[in-house]
Structure 1
Amino acid sequence: MTSPPPDVPASYELRIGGHLDQHWSTWFDGFTITHQDDGTSTLCGVVRDQSDLHGLLAKVRDLGTPLLSLTHLEVPDNDGGKGTGTSTDTDPASRDQQLR
């Protein structure tokens, strides 16, 4: 897998320690928050560029929760490279444990 260029929108999944309430989705720029059975949460969404990604990581740091992983999600080429659409390996819409 190659990294996206720094000025192109891209989809990411962050796994963090603990379960976040739904209201944190707004603070995390609309990222989808999903609770996992192992006591972690995943945040999935699109960032516009590397600057936004660094801002997102700063929010995780400021929250004081451990960042366990950061994954760039592949998206189909039929979206014109805009970073929208579903991932080939992780689709947030297909997660069976959405927050209430």
Structure 2
Amino acid sequence: MTVRLTVQGHVSAELVEWLAPLEADGEAAGDTVLRGTLPDQSAFHGLCNRIRDLGLPLLELTASRKDVEP
């Protein structure tokens, strides 16, 4: 599953390490874009819980799963 999250404000390098395997990019507006690949739905929910626990205001979330062949 590929995810892209935008959170309000700057996320420190220490917090980005805690959000591994995501990588962070800053935006001109001062927000932070986190993107990466997660192995499954459970990891996605765990990530959402970490974002909540850190108190990071979530501005945008995009998730897409890898195509599965029949």
TM-score, L = length of structure 1? 0.60
Q: Does 1:64 pair with 2:55?
A: yes
Task: Judge conservation of contact 2:21–2:38 (CA < 8 Å) in 1.
Answer: no
Unaligned runs of 5+ in 2: none
**Residue in 1 aligned with 2:38?**
47
Q: Which has the larger radius of gyration?
A: 1
- Corresponding residue SS for 2:13: coil
2: distance between equivalents of 1:71 and 1:59? 17
User: Structure with the greater relative contact order (CA < 8 A, sep ≥ 6): 1 or 2?
Assistant: 2
RMSD: 1.8
Greater helix share, structure number: 2
Contact 2:3 2:63 in 1 (8 A): yes
| CA contact 1:15–1:42 (8 Å) conserved in 2 | yes
Instruction: Give me the whole-angstrom Cα distance separating, in 1, the residues matched to 2:6 and 2:19.
Output: 13
Q: Which runs of 4+ in 1 moved over 3 A?
A: none
1:35-60 CA-partner distances (Å, limit 9, x unpaired): 11112100001111111000000111
TM-score by length of structure 2 reads 0.83
8 Å CA contact 1:36–1:42 kept in 2: the answer is yes
Give % identity.
34
